[in-house]
Amino acid sequence: MLTAHLQDNFSTKFCFFFLLLAKLKISTNPSASELPSSLRARYALLFNLDINRPLNFIGQGSSPEEVILIIKSKSNIEFKATDTAKVTFTNLTIKSSHKTYEGPFISVLNGDLILQNIDLLISNQESAIALFNNSYLDADSSFFSTSDRSTAIHLLNSSSTILSNCIFKNNKTAIYGNIDNFSGNIHITQSKILNSRAAGIALYGGKLKIEDSFIQNNIVGISLRNSSTGSIFNTHIKSNELNGIDITNSSKIRIDKSNISNNNNGIIVNNNSAIDQLTDS
């Protein structure tokens, strides 16, 4: 069962075997006619999901695999700049079902996106989630797997994210701070970034903080460029094919009580970059 809750206590329940909707659009002033009151299916198949007001999706199964939300085309989450509301997905699987590669699958244009116990399985897209402007992503106990052509989370402008107890596996890049205009913050705790075809984390600007995590079996573990700054504490960066950490273009990194081992190169420093601190590693 999937329950969708609006912040004004309007709710819609979805009880699952198979469902096909032409379009689900959440407007600023929804009425009962805008959302179906009862739908029976194991899967929810939506052609797209455009959200411009607070909404919660809650899977009522015992695990994310029991409630699967399949979205056929690109989706947007956008609030007015003055809004503080958010969209939350809890305890379900989100999948894509079409083959288009260009652009992000879910664009958060303005607003907060909260993922709690989510499996995000988005294949053959340029990125699964793209955060624009001052948007914010908070993901906890979630799994991200796209493909070797896709980025899981793409941050632009001054967007930011906090990732806790998450696993990223089999992506092109797990987390990417945009090459032209990223100045936001990324905080990762108790997470694993595994098997990325390019870099596990690649930032062109902004700030990165990693604690109590594993970055393993990627081509490059962490790549910092364009005056990025990083702080790494109690983290294992190991068995990456080329470099464990690669910093260049006036970037800086602080490493404390971390294990950097079994990479072809442990740490590469170029072009006015520096290791600000290296202790007990």
pLDDT of residue 68: 84
pLDDT of residue 7: 42
pLDDT of residue 47: 66
**Per residue, what are the HEC states of the chain?**
CEEEEECCCCEEEEECECEEECCEEECCCCCHHHCCCEEEECEEEECCEEECCCEEEEECCCCHHHCEEEECCCEEEECCCCCCCEEEEEEEEEEECCCCCCCEEEEEEECEEEEEEEEEECCCCCEEEEECCCCEEEEECCEEECCCCCEEEEEEECCEEEEECCEEECCCEEEEEEEEEECCEEEEECCEEECCCCEEEEEECCEEEEECCEEECCCEEEEEECCCEEEEECCEEECCCCEEEEECCCCEEEEECCEEECCCEEEEECCCCEEEEEECC
pLDDT of residue 73: 74
pLDDT of residue 62: 82
pLDDT of residue 25: 31
CB-count burial class (<10 Å; 0-12, 13-18, 19+) for 65: exposed
In the chain, the amino acid numbered 102 is E
pLDDT of residue 278: 77
Q: Are strands 55-59 and 2-6 parallel, antiparallel or unpaired?
A: antiparallel
Calculate the alpha carbon distances from 257 to 151, 207, 223, 250 in Å: 29, 19, 19, 24
User: Across the 281 residues of the chain, what is the mean pLDDT of every consecutive 10-residue run?
Assistant: 44 35 32 34 63 80 84 70 72 80 83 94 88 94 92 96 98 95 95 97 97 98 97 98 96 96 96 84 67
